[in-house]
């Protein structure tokens, strides 16, 4: 994709991986954090990543032609309010979050929402004039950009209501070493987020976190 301006809301592992990835692929990135001046750790990190500026959530949302949501899933609505919901209007918004909430009954992973609603739908309702695409939420931060997986590219499952927005995300994913697999409207975030519960359960069993779901057929990896 042609270089553009990217805003990333959230500066944890996922936000940093995607900010670095977009910068490495020649985009101009603003990574947003709640209190930029106080975030020494993020400043050290950004100093090592050319093309990434630090700002508030509002500054990142304002700067981006494309805005990436990369906060904790249960914090994303509040992050949108802090950034200013109006700043997302008309933009492509990539929702990489998962509404993970530990299950007190099992101590294991679970989701705060599911089955008949999802984090992706909550985000789309919070910014109805944005074109939301769920993507990147099913893989580890370390695999999001240039994953180096054998027999690739592998499918990255995406969902959203705007076909043009999904085509743009497909271009980005192609640059990042993935092949977008469009599974439908934003309501399919229900299942894409459900993946993550298994992903965590599988990581707990493996003691390793570099796994990604993919699709196999008798003739090889399926990407379309």
Asked if 154 interacts with a copy of itself (CB under 8 A), we say yes
Binding flag, residue 151, a copy of itself (CB under 8 A): yes
Which pairs with CB-CB distance under 8 Å and at least 24 residues apart come from 38-44? 39/11, 42/11
Residue 171 as a binder of a copy of itself (CB under 8 A): the answer is no
**If binding is defined by CB under 8 A, does position 175 make contact with a copy of itself?**
no
Cβ 75 vs Cβ 121: under 8 Å: no
53: nearest Cα among 7, 1, 17? 7
Interface positions, 106-125, toward a copy of itself (CB under 8 A): 106, 108, 111, 113-116
Q: CB of residue 92 vs a copy of itself: minimum separation in angstroms?
A: 21
11 binds a copy of itself (CB under 8 A): no
State the burial class of residue 67 (Cβ atoms within 10 Å of its Cβ: 0-12, 13-18, 19+).
buried
Which helix (DSSP H) or strand (DSSP E) does residue 93 occupy? Answer: strand 92-95
Q: Which residues bind a copy of itself (CB under 8 A)?
A: 106, 108, 111, 113-116, 147-151, 154, 157, 181-185, 187-188, 190-192, 194-195, 197-198, 201-202, 205-206, 208, 210-220, 222, 224
């Amino acid at each position: 994709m042609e270089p553009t301006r990217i805003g990333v809301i959230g500066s944890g592992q996922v936000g940093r991986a995607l900010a670095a990835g977009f910068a490495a692929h020649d985009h101009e990135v603003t990574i947003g954090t709640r209190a930029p001046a106080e975030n020494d750790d993020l400043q050290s990190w950004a100093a090592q990543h050319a093309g990434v500026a630090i700002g508030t959530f509002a500054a990142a949302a304002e700067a981006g032609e494309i805005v990436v949501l990369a906060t904790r899933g249960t914090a994303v609505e509040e992050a949108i309010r802090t950034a200013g919901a109006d700043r997302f209007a008309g933009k492509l918004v990539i929702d990489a979050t998962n509404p993970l909430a530990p299950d007190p009954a099992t101590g294991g992973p679970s989701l705060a929402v599911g089955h008949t609603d999802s984090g992706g739908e909550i985000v789309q309702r919070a910014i109805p004039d944005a074109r939301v695409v769920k993507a990147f939420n099913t893989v580890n931060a370390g695999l999001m950009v240039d994953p180096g997986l054998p027999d690739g590219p592998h499918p990255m499952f995406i969902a959203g209501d705007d076909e043009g927005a999904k085509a743009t995300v497909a271009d980005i994913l192609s640059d990042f070493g993935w092949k977008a697999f469009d599974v439908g409207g934003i309501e399919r975030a229900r299942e894409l987020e459900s993946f993550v519960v298994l992903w965590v359960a599988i990581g707990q069993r493996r003691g390793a976190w570099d796994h990604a779901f993919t699709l196999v057929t008798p003739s090889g990896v399926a990407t379309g």
